[in-house]
Structure 1
Amino acid sequence: MRRRGVLTALAGASLAGVAPVLAGCTEDPGPRPRLAIATGENGGVYQPLGRALGTTLGSRWRAEAAATAGSVENLERLRTGRAQLAFTSVDVAAQDLEGLGSFGSKDQLRALGELYADHVHLVIATNRGAYGVDGLAGRPVSTGAAGSGTEVVATRLLAAAGITLRGFEQHKLGLRDSIAALRAGIIDAFFFSSGLPCTAIAGLVASGDLDVGLTDLSGYVPTLQSQYGEVYSTGWIPNSIYTLTSVSTVAIANVLAVPATMSETAAYQLTRLLFVAKPRLSAAHPEGRQLDPRSALGTYPVPLHPGAERFYREQKSP
């Protein structure tokens, strides 16, 4: 079912908010089972949100938020049981569901809800020239860490611009290493897919020790959509985020994923506590404020877990 169809089916009635549901809930006593949360890189958004969520989940689980390379690694951890809860972008989740890319076989992951949208950043050192994606041909560029969602969308963007992996000098660097390499002149540009703001990129801009800019990527959205569907849309990074020139870019929704085999009860409680955690999520990063039971239903192409569906249905007005 398309995203709009999910929203229509489950949110036809107005939502009354989570407070009535939460007021009557108490935590069960007894030993707390372990719950591993796969988050993301230092300087991104997944990690602070994952840590904040883990604090709230500590009322029922021994929650452990692990730093990772990002979406691809997170879903690999979910497949192998090394994680029970994973942050992921929906383009990578679509690969996992279909067994494409590095996944090799189809998976049956489920979502607890949509969180917020990533915006793809192409950060360039402006003293080495102003250029778009097509201008990366022959240049040293970081496409993100191996196992990251950034690497997936960066490779697709380059292909949309007619640049193959042999058509430039590829560096597979995480966010912090990409920034260090840009400063050192080892690379001319790097990709990073993140919510707004990305604190590490904001720090790079604020330091003033290197003139950087963002590249407009919106022209590639139609090509990406024609090849990969509605997992990509057009986003906007305004001047107010980094005090850089505003640009349009590629936007990708993020969801909180769990194995399809998770019990309905556990998925229900995780979804409930996700909304209990909203004040902590909002304090950890501004994107935490985006969590809303109305928009959280739009997890396309990842089906909602039945336990999460039950939670959202309970939010409807009588």
Structure 2
Amino acid sequence: MKKLFILMMASILVMSLLIGCGSQKAAEQKAPEKKFINIATGGTAGVYYPLGGAIAEILNKNVPGINATAQSTGASVANINMLKDGKVELAMVQNDTAYYAFKGIEMFKDKQVANMRGVATLYNETIQMIVLEESPIKTLNDLKGKKVAVGSIGSGTEANARQILEAYGLAYTDLNPQYLSFGEAANGLKDGNVDVAFVTAGAPTAAIQDIAFQKKIRLLPVEADKVDALIKKYPFYAKQLVKANTYPGQTTDIETVAVKAMLVVPENLDADIVYKMTKAIYGNTDRLKAAHKLGEGITKESALEGMPIPIHPGAEKFFKEK
């Protein structure tokens, strides 16, 4: 009898262990594997950083198994290099810079990044040329011999400046180029060390607002024929109007051109993950609007405008849905 009792207890123990192992395996199978999504944005004072933070929040709340984090970076060029090196899975970049990288031209000459795919274009990044109100410079035709802040060396702004000057028949040899960041260019204008500053950023731009609160400024236009010529030669440009009162003291609309901010991913990122991320982002655009005013321009309807590189299959699947 005693032996029978011991045998029964041993059988119960074995069955319990087997059930426990089975439950554990089932739990392991049910628990989704964590996928870390590092998002490359830009400087903390810019537009990319708050929008990137909002995107990370959206993904964490709406895509099971995703652990997304936004990080401050040196923006477009740095972000593409980080993506290429496998350090980030999602990056915010200018569409013209993405085009250069994919083609292996401009700052990516001999450094082609062919394994990058587009997710969506977001909002317009306006190319703004700023002078002080009292400046004798009225149009871009007046830049010969002037000190012109054209952006940091190798930046998207610098390429924009060079292309726009080219449309006016000007080269750097015709003027005195200053390779300055937005902040440095703003200080240069205020101090009189810069005559004109090129800035490529969503309008209103904090660096320009800062000048306008201290000194009266003007924005130089890009004439309609030059706009058409730029768009014909460079497919990533779009017409852009900087509406009156965008900046203090700006009383008239200014016609210029813009490029677009966009999202890119590695070509080999799982299509289902990209689909779910894209769906989550465009299902929660109110959060993007709350993060920054320029989030108002982020819509599903405009998400493929100015797309300069092949779109990722996961994103394409989402945009093809009704």
- TM-score between the two structures when normalised by the length of structure 2: 0.80
Match of 1:83 among 80, 88, 95: 88
Question: Which residue of 1 is the match for residue 172 of structure 2?
Answer: 165
Question: Which residue of 1 is the match for residue 231 of structure 2?
Answer: 225
Structure 2 gaps of 5+ residues are: 1-29
Over 3 Å counting, the alpha-carbon distance change for 1:239 and 1:142 in structure 2 is same
Match of 2:60 among 43, 58, 61: 58
- Residue 175 of structure 1 pairs with residue 182 of structure 2: yes
Question: Which residue of 2 is the match for residue 12 of structure 1?
Answer: none
Mapping of residues 170-249 of structure 1, within 5 Å: 170-205=177-212, 207=213, 209-219=214-224, 220-228=226-234, 230-243=235-248, 244=250, 245-249=252-256
Mapping of residues 34-73 of structure 1, within 5 Å: 34-59=36-61, 60-73=65-78
SS of structure 2 residue aligned to 1:239: coil
CA-to-partner distance for each residue in 1:119-145, whole Å, 9 max, x for gaps? 111111222323322322222221123
- Residue 148 of structure 1 pairs with residue 155 of structure 2: yes
Determine if contact 1:196/1:286 at 8 Å carries over to the other structure.
no
Question: Which residue of 2 is the match for residue 120 of structure 1?
Answer: 127
Mapping of residues 251-262 of structure 1, within 5 Å: 251-262=258-269
SS of structure 2 residue aligned to 1:134: helix
Percent identity of equivalent pairs: 30
Over 3 Å counting, the alpha-carbon distance change for 1:191 and 1:306 in structure 2 is same
SS of structure 2 residue aligned to 1:127: coil
Structure 1 gaps of 5+ residues are: 1-27
Determine if contact 1:43/1:198 at 8 Å carries over to the other structure.
no
Determine if contact 1:43/1:175 at 8 Å carries over to the other structure.
no
- TM-score between the two structures when normalised by the length of structure 1: 0.81
Over 3 Å counting, the alpha-carbon distance change for 1:40 and 1:168 in structure 2 is farther
User: One-letter code of the match for 1:167?
Assistant: D
CA–CA distance in structure 2, aligned partners of residues 127 and 150 of structure 1: 25
CA–CA distance in structure 2, aligned partners of residues 224 and 189 of structure 1: 20
Deviation (angstroms), 1:218: 3.6
Over 3 Å counting, the alpha-carbon distance change for 1:218 and 1:65 in structure 2 is farther
- Residue 278 of structure 1 pairs with residue 280 of structure 2: no
Determine if contact 1:56/1:276 at 8 Å carries over to the other structure.
no
User: One-letter code of the match for 2:305?
Assistant: G
CA-to-partner distance for each residue in 1:33-67, whole Å, 9 max, x for gaps? 43222222444322221122122233454433233
CA-to-partner distance for each residue in 1:220-269, whole Å, 9 max, x for gaps? 222222322x3112110011311413200012233211111111022112
CA–CA distance in structure 1, aligned partners of residues 191 and 291 of structure 2: 30
Q: Of the two, which has the highest radius of gyration? A: 2
User: One-letter code of the match for 1:272?
Assistant: K
Determine if contact 1:37/1:84 at 8 Å carries over to the other structure.
yes
Q: Give the root-mean-square deviation of aligned CA atoms.
A: 2.2
Question: Which residue of 2 is the match for residue 7 of structure 1?
Answer: none
CA–CA distance in structure 2, aligned partners of residues 29 and 142 of structure 1: 54
Determine if contact 1:255/1:299 at 8 Å carries over to the other structure.
no
CA-to-partner distance for each residue in 1:257-294, whole Å, 9 max, x for gaps? 11111110221122122124422210121221222222
Determine if contact 2:42/2:73 at 8 Å carries over to the other structure.
yes
CA-to-partner distance for each residue in 1:82-129, whole Å, 9 max, x for gaps? 322122222222212211112122513211112111211111122232
Over 3 Å counting, the alpha-carbon distance change for 1:154 and 1:41 in structure 2 is farther
SS of structure 2 residue aligned to 1:242: coil
Structure number with higher relative contact order (C-alpha < 8 Å, ≥ 6 residues apart): 1
Q: Which deviates the most, 171-180 or 35-44?
A: 35-44
Over 3 Å counting, the alpha-carbon distance change for 1:146 and 1:279 in structure 2 is farther
Determine if contact 1:281/1:288 at 8 Å carries over to the other structure.
yes
Deviation (angstroms), 1:150: 1.4
CA-to-partner distance for each residue in 1:157-178, whole Å, 9 max, x for gaps? 1222222223322222222222
CA–CA distance in structure 2, aligned partners of residues 146 and 274 of structure 1: 33
CA–CA distance in structure 2, aligned partners of residues 147 and 263 of structure 1: 31
